[in-house]
Chain A
Amino acid sequence: MSRLQVVSGKGGTGKTTVAAALALALATEGKRTLLVEVEGRQGIAQLFETEALPYEERKIAVAPDGGEVYALAIDPELALLDYLQMFYKMGGAGRALKKLGAIDFATTIAPGLRDVLLTGKACEAVRRKERSGRFVYDYVVMDAPPTGRITRFLNVNDEVAGLAKIGPIHNQAQAVMRVLKSPETAVHLVTLLEEMPVQETADGIAELRAARLPVGRVIVNMVRPALLDPADLELLGTVERSSVARALSSAGLGGARRGGHAERLVDPLLEQAREYAERYALEAEQRAVLEDLGLPLHELPLYADGVDLAALYQMARELRGQGVS
């Protein structure tokens, strides 16, 4: 099982939520996971109902059987200073660079350096060991940039290693790529059963594969419950308005005669059912596209009231039940 689990997906598909649920799901039997946020949105803090996360690994949740979830929101600027200190013992020089504006430059303008720092920090957490030789984190789950950017984001170190042909950055970049391109890493894509996210998922997988990055699972999020069964859907095309009106009337919703209360409900209710049928057919189509991708496919239900902590734990249980941990 890969120790670095990268979660990407189109904007709006709930990838932060899925990443958090996955981190909880993987924290089984006393295992420790680190949930890493790279886009500075503090989505994890909101999800776990805690205050904004500092640039510091801290425990944010305990799994039912004693596992632990830590979280880290990576700040590129602090990561750079950290990195200078760690690798080059250049804390003082780091401060000087900061004064010079180089840190700003590195983290916002210089191509890719920001992404190098983010992936580098995650890989450092993957490789970090305790004195006993045991890994500090059993799994690192990354709430990564969206599908459209994920390949470039993960591949940035390749690019940088090509730019900086020698020197510490080159070496660091290569070390990161070794982790990212190995079975140590799995990139999961979160999608909805809608056309655009599914298309992006398919495109994203093709790009990841072309870059020889390891693709993991496809997780379909916010799957709506089936409210009409196939027999109902079939009846939708043929049913008589008057018989529906009578059924409504017999259920206590007023008169079935033309103009009666129950009768007036028929058209709007049938219209809603037709919309449902249309969406249901679209969803079936998209599910088929996803099945054709040939990757492990998981589904998480829609939590209509939004995902709170309780729902997050349910999602984690669901993922465990589907064998992701």
Chain B
Amino acid sequence: MSRPEPAQAAQAHERAARQRLSPARVLDIDPLIEDPQTRIIVCCGAGGVGKTTTAAALGLRAAERGRKVVVLTIDPARRLAQSMGIDSLDNTPRRVKGIDDSAGGELHAMMLDMKRTFDEIVEAHADPERAAAILSNPFYQSLSAGFAGTQEYMAMEKLGQLRARDEWDLIVVDTPPSRSALDFLDAPKRLGSFLDGKLIRVLLAPAKAGGRAGMKFLNVGMSMMTGVLGKLLGGQLLKDVQTFVAAMDSMFGGFRTRADATYQLLQAPGTAFLVVAAPERDALREAAYFVERLAAERMPLAGLVLNRVHGSGADRLSAERAVAAAENLEESRIVDQEDGKAGSRTSPGNSPSTYDSSESPARDEPGVSAGPADPVESTAPDEGSPADAERSVDRFTAGLLRLHAERMHLLAREQRTRDRFTALHPEVAVTEVAALPGDVHDLAGLRDIGDRLANNRPELPEPGA
């Protein structure tokens, strides 16, 4: 098994911590999406880690670099869907307007409509009369409206369809937010085991009894089973199920062939899986599970996309020093209030350590520029005294420092969870996407995410950028 023993893992973790380990490998997005050999990219990961946004951003970036791309999303946020023009549910890829097509690329996007996809399969593979019978079957109607599992089948089915149309040279797929998020890998197998099972023959038996001589497997045990099922399900439901299964019988073979083909497609060299996560304990735990599961299924993993990674332009200032400095400012404010501008505000216990301590705290002329900036303390008749203004700047600066301390703690936590993942899976290439303060709902935002994905820069953008 690929998972190291706990002791080994702990040792690896320690080693990693000692080396201030950054990911063993960096995932380079651009070569991946530019390579004409890459035909399918599957984004998978736990719910709420930015899977859909990542898929959309990758699609946009690939299109703007000259590829003809279709993005299959499962359940996009409304405003993101609107921005791509795919908020209408018609189950066909729509061309996304407003992209930079100077490199000759195109972006198409669609949102999966489970029921439509299912209906289309029925319509395409059964004669009209039989199709009508299936579509009006109550059992079918419930099934296709999306009970557990249907979404996974249909996502794979749609992927197979898009690939078969051969109109795009890159398909980017978002995966359903499944209960166990890799259900889509099991879909073909489950269908297979159902089709191989005896149950289907029991269900088919009464329907076939009329026309065919295929009754020989309907022994006494089987008819008892139909009896049990009938008792359990109620006669009407059993009949609906039987009619449904009988009507679908001719199509099941096709279902299965396509499901198997899609599964093989996923294992093929042109496919790349990206596991998407955020630098949080649970999300990375799930990501590790995905990595292991994909390896077990021999699915080609391109790497890990780590979203919402925080950085700091002032990361040389530690949390501890920031808090100490904030305390200095807050204390000196009290001192100031007591006896004006008394003495040094630098308490002796806090000599700078990471910064050059020979550089003494040099204060320019007090009061020269403290005046204009004080919209808060307007209680004083003359726009607030310089001392008041300075006190509020001190308090403000203390706030900045405390904010920074929080940020540094966050950075340290993210680093720890990431290191843990890297220690367990050093083979997995990682790209980090810097956190944004808000949500993405337009192409510009997606483009920005694409840049962040490709540049792999965890730092904040340059101030003022």
A residues sitting closer than 8 Å to B (CB atoms) are 10-13, 39-41, 84, 88, 90, 93, 96-97, 100-102, 104-105, 108-112, 114-115, 145-146, 148, 152, 156, 159, 162-170, 194-197, 199, 227-229, 231-232, 234-236, 238-240, 242-244, 246-257, 260-262, 265, 267-273, 275-276, 278-279, 282, 304-306
* Given A97-B225, A167-B237, A235-B396, A251:B401 Cβ within 8 A: yes
- Tell whether B325 is near chain A: CB-to-CB under 8 Å: yes
Question: A304: shortest Cβ distance to chain B, in Å?
Answer: 7
B403 and A276 within 8 A (CB): yes
Which A residues touch B376, using CB under 8 A? 231, 234-235
Q: List 14 A-B contacts (CB under 8 A).
A: A88-B231, A97-B225, A114-B148, A195-B77, A227-B399, A232-B399, A244-B396, A249-B361, A250-B345, A250-B346, A251-B325, A252-B352, A261-B355, A269-B404
Output the nearest chain A residue to B151 by Cβ-Cβ distance.
A149
B460 and A235 within 8 A (CB): no
Which A residues touch B407, using CB under 8 A? 272
- Tell whether B380 is near chain A: CB-to-CB under 8 Å: no
B394 and A247 within 8 A (CB): yes
> In the bound complex, how far is the Cα of B147 from the Cα of A156, in angstroms?
9
A305 and B413 within 8 A (CB): yes
Give which listed residue, B361, B370, B437, contacts A262 with CB less than 8 A: B361
B194 and A196 within 8 A (CB): no
> In the bound complex, how far is the Cα of B361 from the Cα of A256, in angstroms?
7
Q: Which 9 A-B pairs have the closest CB atoms?
A: A11-B47, A12-B48, A167-B234, A268-B313, A101-B197, A247-B397, A251-B325, A268-B314, A267-B463
Which A residues touch B374, using CB under 8 A? 235
B residues sitting closer than 8 Å to A (CB atoms) are 46-49, 75, 77-79, 138-139, 142-143, 146-150, 177, 179-180, 190-191, 193-194, 197-199, 202, 221, 225, 228-229, 231-237, 240-241, 278, 280-281, 283, 312-314, 317, 321, 324-326, 328-329, 332, 345-347, 350-352, 355-356, 359-364, 366, 369-370, 372-376, 389-390, 392-404, 406-407, 409-410, 413, 437-439, 460, 463-464
A12 and B190 within 8 A (CB): no
B312 and A11 within 8 A (CB): no
Give which listed residue, B142, B202, B237, B362, contacts A249 with CB less than 8 A: B362
Looking at B191, B350, B362, B389, which has the most chain A CB atoms within 10 Å of its CB? B362
Which A residues touch B326, using CB under 8 A? 251
A247 and B329 within 8 A (CB): yes
B197 and A170 within 8 A (CB): no
Which A residues touch B332, using CB under 8 A? 250-251
Give which listed residue, A269, A276, A306, contacts B314 with CB less than 8 A: A269
> In the bound complex, how far is the Cα of B77 from the Cα of A57, in angstroms?
38
> In the bound complex, how far is the Cα of B190 from the Cα of A248, in angstroms?
63
* Given A269-B401, A272-B403, A246:B49 Cβ within 8 A: no
Which B residues touch A247, using CB under 8 A? 329, 390, 393-394, 396-397
A251 and B397 within 8 A (CB): yes
Give which listed residue, B180, B240, B362, B393, contacts A257 with CB less than 8 A: B362
Which B residues touch A246, using CB under 8 A? 363-364, 366, 393
A88 and B409 within 8 A (CB): no
> In the bound complex, how far is the Cα of B372 from the Cα of A260, in angstroms?
23
B202 and A165 within 8 A (CB): no
A109 and B47 within 8 A (CB): no
> In the bound complex, how far is the Cα of B194 from the Cα of A112, in angstroms?
16
A165 and B197 within 8 A (CB): no
> In the bound complex, how far is the Cα of B390 from the Cα of A248, in angstroms?
12
Question: B361: shortest Cβ distance to chain A, in Å?
Answer: 4
* Given A88-B232, A169-B237, A235:B375 Cβ within 8 A: yes
A252 and B177 within 8 A (CB): no
A194 and B193 within 8 A (CB): no
Give which listed residue, A159, A163, A276, A304, contacts B240 with CB less than 8 A: A163
Main SS of the interface on chain A?
A: helix
* Given A167-B233, A235-B376, A267-B464, A229:B399 Cβ within 8 A: yes
* Given A88-B231, A256-B364, A304-B410, 19 extra CB contacts under 8 A: A12-B48, A41-B180, A100-B199, A101-B193, A109-B149, A112-B148, A195-B439, A232-B396, A235-B374, A235-B376, A235-B393, A247-B394, A247-B396, A248-B397, A250-B329, A252-B350, A257-B364, A267-B313, A269-B400
B46 and A112 within 8 A (CB): no
> In the bound complex, how far is the Cα of B393 from the Cα of A88, in angstroms?
76
Which B residues touch A12, using CB under 8 A? 46-49, 278, 283
Output the nearest chain A residue to B146 by Cβ-Cβ distance.
A152
A39 and B142 within 8 A (CB): no
Which B residues touch A242, using CB under 8 A? 364, 369
* Given A90-B228, A170-B234, A235-B392, A146:B347 Cβ within 8 A: no
Give which listed residue, A167, A229, A265, A304, contacts B232 with CB less than 8 A: A167
Question: B185: shortest Cβ distance to chain A, in Å?
Answer: 14
Output the nearest chain B residue to A244 by Cβ-Cβ distance.
B397
B225 and A104 within 8 A (CB): no
Which A residues touch B464, using CB under 8 A? 267, 271
> In the bound complex, how far is the Cα of B373 from the Cα of A244, in angstroms?
11
Which B residues touch A197, using CB under 8 A? 48
Which A residues touch B360, using CB under 8 A? 255
> In the bound complex, how far is the Cα of B236 from the Cα of A167, in angstroms?
9
B77 and A199 within 8 A (CB): yes
Give which listed residue, A88, A102, A199, A251, contacts B346 with CB less than 8 A: A251
Give which listed residue, B79, B180, B345, B463, contacts A271 with CB less than 8 A: B463
B400 and A272 within 8 A (CB): yes
Give which listed residue, B139, B359, B410, contacts A260 with CB less than 8 A: B359
Question: A204: shortest Cβ distance to chain B, in Å?
Answer: 13
Question: A203: shortest Cβ distance to chain B, in Å?
Answer: 9
> In the bound complex, how far is the Cα of B346 from the Cα of A145, in angstroms?
55
A40 and B149 within 8 A (CB): no
Which B residues touch A159, using CB under 8 A? 142
* Given A227-B406, A238-B373, A304:B438 Cβ within 8 A: no
B397 and A148 within 8 A (CB): no
Give which listed residue, B143, B232, B355, B390, contacts A169 with CB less than 8 A: B232
> In the bound complex, how far is the Cα of B281 from the Cα of A90, in angstroms?
44
Output the nearest chain B residue to A253 by Cβ-Cβ distance.
B325
B317 and A253 within 8 A (CB): yes
Question: B448: shortest Cβ distance to chain A, in Å?
Answer: 14
B369 and A102 within 8 A (CB): no
> In the bound complex, how far is the Cα of B281 from the Cα of A257, in angstroms?
42
> In the bound complex, how far is the Cα of B148 from the Cα of A115, in angstroms?
8
A255 and B313 within 8 A (CB): no
Looking at A156, A196, A276, A279, which has the most chain B CB atoms within 10 Å of its CB? A196
* Given A88-B231, A252-B328, A256-B364, A243:B370 Cβ within 8 A: yes
Which A residues touch B229, using CB under 8 A? 102
* Given A145-B179, A169-B234, A195-B439, A253:B321 Cβ within 8 A: yes
A244 and B400 within 8 A (CB): yes
* Given A93-B228, A168-B232, A255-B362, A234:B375 Cβ within 8 A: yes
